Amino acid sequence: MAGEKSEQKLWGGRFTGETDPLMHLYNESLSYDQKMYDADLDNSKYYTEGLLKAGLLTEEELSEIHRGLEVIRCEWAADSFVEKDGDEDIHTANERRLGEIIGRHIAGKVHTGRSRNDQVATDMRIYCRKALTNLEKILTNLIGAILQRSETEIDALMPGYTHLQRAQPIRWSHWLNLYATYFVEDLKRLKQIKERLNVSPLGCGALAGHPYGIDREYIAGKLGFDGCIGNSLQAVSDRDFVVEILFWCSLFMNHISRFSEDLIIYSTAEFGFVKLSDAYSTGSSLMPQKKNPDSLELLRGKSGRVFGSLSGFMMSLKSIPSTYNKDMQEDKEPLFDALVTVEHSILISTGVISTLAINKQKMFGALTMDMLATDLADYLVRKGVPFRETHHISGEAVSQAEKLKLSGIDQLTVAQYKEIDARFGEDVVDVFDFEVSVERRTATGGTAKCAVLKQIKSLKEQL
C-alpha cells in the first residue's frame, strides 16, 4: 500500500499527493464492511432499475450492470473477490470491480445521483433487517426450549429467592418462565426495531436530494422497504437504528447475564439444583475434580462487552454536526461485534438450557420450614385476623422455634401455637406442606401448577 496514488481512488480526481499508508489503514472499512456485500449489490441492482425508469440508463446498459453485479456476488460468495489498492470500502470495491467486468463506461453510470452516504445508510438497514430476522428465529427457538422444560419439569419445587435468601417455595418451571417472559418481551422489542428501521434513505444523494427526479418509493419497494425517509439530510446521517439495535443487544445480554448468574449459583455443589452437560463445561488445568460452567460465565461476561459497544458508539455519535461525517463509519465494528456476540450467546444459551440436568431432590431438599412463615400468617388471615397482626404472630412462632432450638416452625405443638395465639386451631399443621403453599398461588402469574401452565400457554401464543 506504500505511497498509494490518489488517482487510483474513485474520488481521486482532485488529489495530487499520495495517501499516507497508515491513513489508508485508518480510513478503510472494507476489512469489516465486506459483510454487507449482498446488501450493497442489491442496492445497486434496484437503484439502477430506478435509473432506467428515470431514463438515465438503457435496457441494454441495465442488463449489463445486472450481469456484472451477479458476477461480483458469486465472487464474494466463493471468497474469490480480489481486493485492490484503492478499495476503501465495500461500495468502492464493488464499483471498481463492476467497471472491470462490464467496462467503465457503463459501470460509471451506476452512481448517477447516488452518494456513498445514502448508499451506506441503505446497505446498513438492509443488512440489519436480515440480521434481526435471524435473531428473531433463534430467539424463538431459545424460548421454545425453555418452555419445553417448563412443561415437562413442572413438578419440581425449589426455593424462590429475594436478596439471594430463601424466601418462598416456587416451581422450577416458574423460574424458567421468568426468563421466557423476559425473552418474549425482547422478541417483541426486536420486531418493533425491525419495523422502525425498514425505511429507505436511497435516492437522497450526498445530502440534498436527487437531481433527476428518481422514483424513490419505487426503488424502496423493490428493496423490501416499507417506505422512504422523508428528509434527505436526516436520511443520510441517521444512525438511531444502530443505537436501538445496540441497546436491544445490551438489554438482552443483561437478561442473559442474570439468567446465567442464577444457573451458575444453582450449579454449585452447595446448591446442586442443576448440572451442566459436558458440552457446555470445561475442566481445570490444575484441579482434576473441577467442572466449570464456562459457558454461563462467558454469557455473563460478554454482556459487558456488548454494553461497551452501545456506550462507545453513542459517544462517537453525540457531537457529529449534520449531516454525514466519517465518524459514522464507526457504527459498523461495534454493531457487527454485538450482533455476532448476541447470535452466539442465544445459540449457547439454547444448548445449555436444553442439555442441563436438574436434581429434583436437591431442589426440594433446599426448602426449609421457615419459608412457610408467610403461609402461617396467611392461615390466620383466613380466620379473619388482619395481615399486619398475623405477620407479627407468625414472626413470634419463628422466634419461639429458634429459642427452643427446634428444626423449624412445624415442630411447635398445637398447644404451643395456641399459647402464641388462641386463634390457632388443630388444622395449623396443614400449613407445613410445600406443595400446598405453592398450590395456593393460583392468581394469574403465580406459582401454582394451573397458573404456571397458563403462563406457558400465553407465552407460546406470543411467539
| Catalytic center residues | 163, 284
CA 254 to CA 248: how far, in whole Å?
A: 10
Of the pair 129, 149, the CB lying nearest ligand ARG is at 129
DSSP track, 286-320: S-TT--B-HHHHHHHHHHHHHHHHHHHHHHHHTTP
Task: Closer to ligand ARG by CB, 49 or 95: give it.
Answer: 95
* Nearer CB in complex with ligand ARG: 26/269: 26
Quick one: 86 or 293, whose CB is closer to ligand ARG? 86
How far is it, in rounded angstroms, from Cα 179 to Cα 166?
19
Q: How many residues bind ligand ARG (CB under 6 A)?
A: 9
Angle at 376 between CA 394 and CA 449, to 5 degrees: 145
Which residue, 126 or 328, is less far from ligand ARG as judged by CB? 328
> Is position 204 an interface residue for ligand ARG (rule: CB under 6 A)?
no
- Nearest approach, Cβ of residue 329 and ligand ARG (Å): 4
Q: How far is the CB of 276 from ligand ARG (least distance, A)?
A: 41
CB of 316 or CB of 368, closer to ligand ARG: 316
Q: What's the min distance (Å) between Cβ of 93 and ligand ARG?
A: 10
Alpha carbons 68 and 98: distance in angstroms, whole number: 6
C-beta separation of 173 from 153 below 8 A: yes
Whole-angstrom Cα distance, residue 327 to residue 343? 26
**Scanning residues 72 to 111, which ones bind ligand ARG (CB under 6 A)?**
89
Residue 166 has phi, psi (to 5 degrees) of -55, 130
Nearer to ligand ARG, 315 or 381 (CB): 315
Give the x/- contact pattern for ligand ARG in 21-60, rule: CB under 6 A: --------x-------------------------------
- C-alpha Rg value of the chain to the nearest Å: 31
Per-residue interface string for the shown chain with ligand ARG, residues 120-139, x marking contact by CB under 6 A: x-------------------
The cell for 180 is 421466557
Q: CA–CA distance from 275 to each of 137, 297, 352, 353 (Å)?
A: 27, 15, 10, 10
Assess whether the previous peptide bond of 181 is cis (omega < 30° from 0).
Answer: no
What gap in Å lies between CA 240 and CA 331, rounded to an integer?
10
Burial of 89-102, coded b for 16+ CB within 10 Å and e otherwise, reads: bbbbbbbbbbbebb
Q: Kindly indicate which of the ranges 137-145, 170-178, 320-328, 440-448 contains the residues binding ligand ARG, using the contact rule CB under 6 A.
A: 320-328
Angle at 19 between CA 17 and CA 21, to 5 degrees: 150
Choose one: 66-74, 325-333, 348-356, 429-437; the region binding ligand ARG (CB under 6 A). 325-333
Report the nearest approach of ligand ARG to the CB of residue 10 (Å).
10
Stretch that binds ligand ARG, among 96-104, 278-286, 322-330, 421-429 (CB under 6 A): 322-330
| 116 lies in the binding site for ligand ARG (CB under 6 A) | yes
Residue 120 CB, nearest distance to ligand ARG (Å)?
4
Which one of residues 19, 94, 117, 309 is an interface residue with ligand ARG (CB under 6 A)? 117
Q: Does 324 bind ligand ARG (CB under 6 A)?
A: yes
Instruction: Say which residue the cell 491513513 belongs to.
Output: 23
Rounded Cα distance, 87 and 156, in Å:
60
Hey, which residues between 399 and 438 contact ligand ARG (CB under 6 A)? none
Q: Give the footprint of ligand ARG on this chain (CB under 6 A).
A: 29, 89, 116-117, 120, 324, 326, 328-329
